[in-house]
Amino acid sequence: MKLQSFTLVAIAAVFLFSCSRQTKIAEKPAIPSGQNHGMIKGSPFVEDLLSKMTLDEKIGQMNQYNGFWDVTGPAPAAGGGAEKYDNLRAGKVGSMLNITGTERVRKIQEIVVKESRLGIPLIFGHDVIHGFKTLAPIPLAEAASWDLEAIKKSSSVAAAEAAASGINWTFAPMVDISRDARWGRVMEGGGEDPYLGSLIAAARVKGFQGDDLKSPLTIASCTKHYAGYGFAEGGRDYNTVDISNSTLHNVILPPFKAAVMAGTKTLMNSFNEINGIPANAHTYILRDVLKGDWNFKGYVVSDWGSIGELPIHGYAENSKQAAEQAVKAGCDMDMESYYYLNHLKELVNEGNVPMALIDDAVRRILMVKEELGLFEDPYKYCDANREKEVVYNPAHKAAVRDVAKKSIVLLKNESALLPLKSGQKVAVIGPHVKDKNSPLGSWRIGSDDNSAVSLWEGLQAHKNIEWLYAEGVKLTTAPASFTEEVSINETDTTGFAEALRVAAMADVVLLNIGEHGFMSGEGRSRTNIDIPGLQDELMEAILKVNKNVVLVLQAGRPLDISKASETVPSILLVWQLGSESGNAIADVVTGQYNPSGKLPMSFPRNVGQVPIYYSVKNTGRPLKNDFNPKMVFWSHYGDSEKTALYPFGYGLSYTTFKYGNIALSKNLEGGLSATINVTNTGKMAGEEVVQLYIRDKVASSTRPIKELKGFEKVKLEPGGSKMVTFLLTKKELSFYNDKGEEVFEPGEFDIMIGGSSDDVQTASINM
Which residue type does 296 have? F
DSSP class of residue 129 equals S
For ligand NOJ, the binding residue among 17, 124, 146, 171 (CB under 6 A) is 171
Q: By CB under 6 A, what part of segment 47-106 binds ligand NOJ?
A: none
For ligand NOJ, the binding residue among 522, 560, 580, 587 (CB under 6 A) is 522
CB nearer ligand NOJ, residue 21 or residue 225: 225
Q: How far is the CB of 113 from ligand NOJ (least distance, A)?
A: 24
Q: How far is the CB of 97 from ligand NOJ (least distance, A)?
A: 6
Q: How far is the CB of 183 from ligand NOJ (least distance, A)?
A: 12
- Regarding 324 and contact with ligand NOJ (CB under 6 A), the answer is no
Q: Pinpoint the alpha helices (H) of 373-464.
A: 384-390, 394-407, 455-459
CB nearer ligand NOJ, residue 129 or residue 258: 129
CB nearer ligand NOJ, residue 65 or residue 654: 65
**Cα(373)–Cα(163) distance, rounded to whole angstroms?**
13
Q: How far is the CB of 17 from ligand NOJ (least distance, A)?
A: 28
Q: How far is the CB of 425 from ligand NOJ (least distance, A)?
A: 46
CB nearer ligand NOJ, residue 303 or residue 435: 303
Count interface residues toward ligand NOJ (CB under 6 A).
Answer: 6
**Cα(742)–Cα(749) distance, rounded to whole angstroms?**
17
CB nearer ligand NOJ, residue 170 or residue 209: 170
For ligand NOJ, the binding residue among 57, 303, 360, 580 (CB under 6 A) is 303
CB nearer ligand NOJ, residue 96 or residue 203: 96
Site track 124-163 with ligand NOJ (rule: CB under 6 A), x = hit:
---x------------------------------------
Q: How far is the CB of 461 from ligand NOJ (least distance, A)?
A: 36
Per DSSP, which regions of 310-352 are E strands? Answer: 334-335
Q: How far is the CB of 305 from ligand NOJ (least distance, A)?
A: 9
Q: How far is the CB of 444 from ligand NOJ (least distance, A)?
A: 12
Q: How many CB atoms lie within 10 A of CB 64?
A: 26
Q: By CB under 6 A, what part of segment 210-249 binds ligand NOJ?
A: 224
- Of 148, 164, 168, 256, residue with least CA distance to 208: 168
Q: Is 347 left (phi over 0), alpha (psi -120 to 50) or beta?
A: alpha
Catalytic residue at 303?
A: yes
Helix (H, G, I), strand (E, B) or coil at 168: coil
CB nearer ligand NOJ, residue 230 or residue 430: 230
**Cα(263)–Cα(13) distance, rounded to whole angstroms?**
27
Q: How far is the CB of 517 from ligand NOJ (least distance, A)?
A: 17
DSSP characters over 444-509: -TTSPTT-SPPHHHHHTT-TTSEEEEE--S--TT--SSTTS-----SS--TTHHHHHHHHHH-SEE
- Regarding 273 and contact with ligand NOJ (CB under 6 A), the answer is no
**Residue 421 contacts by C-beta under 8 Å, 6 or more apart in sequence?**
none
**How far is CA 374 from its chain centroid?**
28
Which residue is closest to ligand NOJ by CB? 171
Question: Strands 266-269, 299-301: parallel, antiparallel or unpaired by DSSP?
Answer: parallel
Q: Pinpoint the alpha helices (H) of 534-611.
A: 535-545, 562-567, 581-589
For ligand NOJ, the binding residue among 68, 69, 294, 304 (CB under 6 A) is 304
DSSP characters over 629-641: TT---SSS-SSS-
Q: By CB under 6 A, what part of segment 452-481 binds ligand NOJ?
A: none
**How far is CA 403 from its chain centroid?**
16
CB nearer ligand NOJ, residue 402 or residue 522: 522
- Regarding 204 and contact with ligand NOJ (CB under 6 A), the answer is no
> Does an H or E element contain 274, and which?
strand 273-274
Maximum separation of any 2 CA atoms in the chain, in Å: 85
CB nearer ligand NOJ, residue 127 or residue 142: 127
- Say which of 176, 288, 303, 435 is annotated catalytic: 303
Residue 337 exposed, middle or buried by CB count within 10 Å (0-12, 13-18, 19+)? buried
Query: Which residues are part of the catalytic machinery?
Result: 303
Applying CB under 6 A, the residues found at the interface with ligand NOJ are: 127, 171, 224, 303-304, 522
